[in-house]
Chain A
Amino acid sequence: MLKEIRWHGRGGQGGFTAARLLGMAGSLYDDYYVQAFPSFGPERRGAPVLGFTRIDTQPIHDRSKVYSCDYVVVLDESLLDVVDVREGIKKGGVLLINSERRPEAFGASPDYEVFTLWATGIALEILGQPVTNTAMFGALVAVSGAVSLEAALTAVELTLPQELWEKNKKAVETAYHQLRR
């Protein structure tokens, strides 16, 4: 059941934290194996960066990069102009974009589904700043069903400092309920 997820963000937006949140949520299951890693190297604020999560019911031995994805999550819509976020999406996969626009605006593909969520809006309302990683994490959890909402909320507590728990759990939940299928 290997699921491979690629997170697109800009340096400083917490894209790798989102990858880790999903990994942490997966690690809460006795029979899941998980792996999360960033696009390695020096990080520059604002530069396009990647995060990756693998979840499987078998031990994960693969140490190569993720080249084909079940889910691609885009934290910052402006990345679509500079990065080919569609690269490597598997047939039947999902592209999830933080955008005010409807999925149709991003073109249809017979190979994968497109979902959108205005995560910046959720983040501004709940967190008071445009940090969209936890909302997009909630959205991915809803769309993928890879882990439960309960696991996702526990992962927030196990990953973020305590003062950030309440608001970020609310961001996860709000996004989750908007995109729950």
Chain B
Amino acid sequence: MTTLSKDLAASRQFISANDAVSYGVRLCRPEVIAAYPITPQTTVVEKLSEFVANQEMDCQYVNVESEHSAMAACLGAALMGCRTFTASSSQGLLYMCEMLHYVSGSRLPIVMMNANRTVAAPWNIYGDHRDSIAMRDAGWLQLYVESAQEALDTVIQAYKVAENHQVMTPVMVCLDGFVLTHTYEVVKVPSQAEVDRFLPPYAPTENRLDLAAPKSCCISVSPEWQTEYRYKQHAAMQAAKKIIGDVDAAFGAQFGRRYGGLLEEYRCEDAEYVLLMMGTIAGTARLVVDKLREGGVKAGLVKIRSFRPFPREEIVRLAQGVKGIGIVDRDISFGYEGALGTEVKGAVQGAAPAINFIAGLSGRDVTKDNIEAMYRKVIDLARGQAEEEIQFVGLRWEQW
């Protein structure tokens, strides 16, 4: 029996990951939050509305009539030089799609949270990555997190990355729906003074509206110039690769927690068989890696935090010396393979044989047994046994 904590400080809270995001956003002092409070939405924006109503946040809260409008309102506020936030999920994110492109093309550093939930049909409210993966090419950075603590910390990091003048690109922080968003755990909430020291007020570039010096923004661009705009968007995203790592390191130096920047390696130093994945599956997979290691299997895992920008160079390096690779996708691009599978296989270019596992769709639990079976299949493949390149984990009419 251990002893009760003497210090029931508010810094250590037992809260859901949704609430952790809300606390993280509050600490970042956004000036405008716009949200559409209907399912699919999370309690993130509810909690934030409480903070604003209780005057715990100095922020304008705009209750809009759709997700499309939520992002449009954020765009307007960001153009005026405000730090902004919104959140969505699933069909709501899809409805936002048009505005997501407007925001990234306008180079506005909006941060949003997405609760990863599948998209209809068949209709289902549960978690997978098919909503945000469908937004892959919307020009947003996409960061996937594993725990409530990482969610809170990543929101703070996200503003720091987005608002970097070399980046000036919006960031979507993605949390696995329910499995993470609705789970309560202990979260350390940093003090306002600490976060203020890490994240100064937003300093916009000249790309903003100014009543004293009127100009047009969200411009249309002729074919003679559009390619250059796209090139610069791409260059900013590439620049973000280093900045994501730098911001994570700086965060670690100040707060004592860091997450590996673009990706986190777990027991990969001498690993022969490596699974790569995003989000909460990485947590469960850690336990499986430990078990396999105890049995003498050199297993490792890579948690990819940043899907865009994609950490190609890091993955190429990791694949050296590896005997087999498994890529776990919580989505499927019908007619080809999982999105992460495509990226990883494209990066490693056959350096190691690979299987793309499609798992955890629409809230299907991904068990430790499932993950161990994936490792076994990768080992079998590396040893020359024939394996299907794409496998749906736990398919009812197959033996898993």
Give the B-binding residues of A (Cβ under 8 A).
20, 23-24, 27-38, 40-42, 57, 60-65, 67, 145, 148, 150-151, 154, 158
Contact = CB atoms under 8 A, between A and B. Distances in A.
B184 A61 contact: no
B267 interface: no
Contacts of B101: none
Nearest to A35: B185
25 contacts: A20-B14, A20-B184, A23-B184, A27-B13, A28-B8, A29-B4, A30-B2, A30-B5, A30-B7, A33-B185, A34-B185, A35-B183, A36-B183, A37-B179, A37-B182, A37-B183, A38-B182, A40-B127, A41-B126, A60-B185, A61-B286, A63-B281, A63-B366, A64-B366, A150-B4
A34 B14 contact: yes
B367 interface: yes
Contacts of A20: 14, 184
A168 B59 CA distance: 37
A34 B13 CA distance: 11
| Nearest 3 pairs of A and B residues by beta carbon | A40-B178, A27-B14, A63-B280
Given A63-B280, A64-B366, A151-B4, A40 B14 contact: no
Interface of B: 1-5, 7-8, 12-14, 125-127, 146, 176, 178-180, 182-186, 280-281, 283-284, 286-287, 363, 365-368
A37 B178 CA distance: 9
B365 A27 contact: no
B184 to A, nearest CB: 4
Nearest to A146: B1
A33 B178 contact: no
B283 A63 contact: yes
A34 B12 CA distance: 12
B81 to A, nearest CB: 39
A104 B58 CA distance: 60
B187 to A, nearest CB: 9
Nearest to A20: B184
A32 B3 CA distance: 10
Given A63-B146, A145-B1, 17 more contacts: A20-B14, A23-B14, A23-B184, A29-B4, A29-B5, A30-B2, A35-B184, A40-B363, A41-B125, A41-B363, A62-B287, A63-B176, A63-B281, A63-B366, A67-B367, A150-B4, A158-B14
Contacts of B7: 30
The main secondary structure of chain B at its interface with chain A is loop
Contacts of B179: 37, 40, 63
Nearest to B124: A41
B367 A64 contact: yes
Nearest to B285: A61
A38 B286 CA distance: 23
A41 to B, nearest CB: 7
A133 B214 CA distance: 61
A31 B12 CA distance: 12
A23 B187 CA distance: 12
B184 A37 contact: yes
Contacts of B186: 27, 33-34
A30 B4 CA distance: 7
Nearest to B371: A64
Contact of A40 (B3, B182, B184, B185): B182
Given A29-B4, A32-B2, A34-B14, A64 B284 contact: yes
A57 B178 CA distance: 24
Given A35-B185, A64-B367, A28 B4 contact: yes
A150 to B, nearest CB: 7
Contacts of A158: 14
A131 to B, nearest CB: 20
A28 B4 CA distance: 6
B14 A62 contact: no
A154 B14 CA distance: 13
A38 B283 CA distance: 18
A141 B3 CA distance: 15
Contacts of A38: 182
Contacts of B14: 20, 23-24, 27, 34, 36, 158
A164 to B, nearest CB: 18
